[in-house]
Amino acid sequence: MTKLLWLDARDNTAPFPDPALALREPDGLLAAGGDLSPQRLLNAYRQGIFPWYSAGQPILWWSPDPRAVLYPRDLHVSRSLRKTLRKGEYRVSFDTAFTEVIRHCAQPRADGLGTWITAEMIAAYCRLHQLGHAHSVEAWHEGVLVGGLYGVALGHVFFGESMFSRRSDASKVAFVHAVTVLRDAGYQLIDCQVASAHLSQFGATLIPRRAFIAQLDTYCEQAPPGDPWRPGPEEEAGHG
């Protein structure tokens, strides 16, 4: 593909191009334009595509190759993090503060990440949350939200989007708790999008895009396994 396909914002049912046509540089850039309606977002995730762009840019759609994934059964927890988990200083909840989590994730950070979550993105994912497709995991310390993550669930797959931490290991505790609960509920795959040292420490690995999409064809078509997202009393984080 020598130029990007532009998606029509007036037709959120229009198909995405084949991810195999994505650019090699920048890796995975597939299409531009369109909108962030629930239908288009869900269609994108189902095909291994996600939006990622900065304020002032058109919506950009990506499907990198290789793809970073974590199989819940392969979760690795370091010795130091196990110690933190055993202390039980954080409490973890599901879907009790989605808007607050995504807004925290959107705040600029020292590593430069987070600023890509625009006001348009926040509104779109809050809408997905209201429809039951987007979910959050929260870490609390003395009643204050200090870490968390959010993403999209389809079938037996959780597509991770972003996480934040305002206290040491808070996001890590939320992540380990989330993966453990999802594993126990029957989820088979967690999409981590692109590789990072942070995710590799938990056991994330790289697989070819074609293999990732083939797994989506299997796992996304299965009925959701249980309901780990049901909000309830905050639980003391002691998994690991």
Per-residue pLDDT of 57-111, as tens digits, reads 999 999 999 999 999 999 999 999 999 999 999 999 999 999 999 999 999 866 5
CATH node for 5-64 = 3.30.70.3550
Residues of the chain within CATH 3.30.70.3550 domain(s) are: 5-64
Residue 179 CB burial class (10 angstroms; 0-12, 13-18, ≥19): buried
pLDDT of amino acid 233: 44
Question: pTM for the full model?
Answer: 0.93
Does the pLDDT at position 191 exceed 80? yes
CATH of 68-236, one of 1.20.144.10, 3.40.630.70, 3.40.30.10, 3.30.560.10: 3.40.630.70
pLDDT per residue as tens digits for the range 15-66:
899 999 999 999 999 999 999 999 999 999 999 999 999 988 999 999 999 9
**φ/ψ bin of 131: left (φ > 0), alpha (ψ from -120 to 50), beta (otherwise):** alpha
> Is the separation of the CB atoms in 167 and 147 below 8 Å?
yes
Residues of the chain within CATH 3.40.630.70 domain(s) are: 68-236
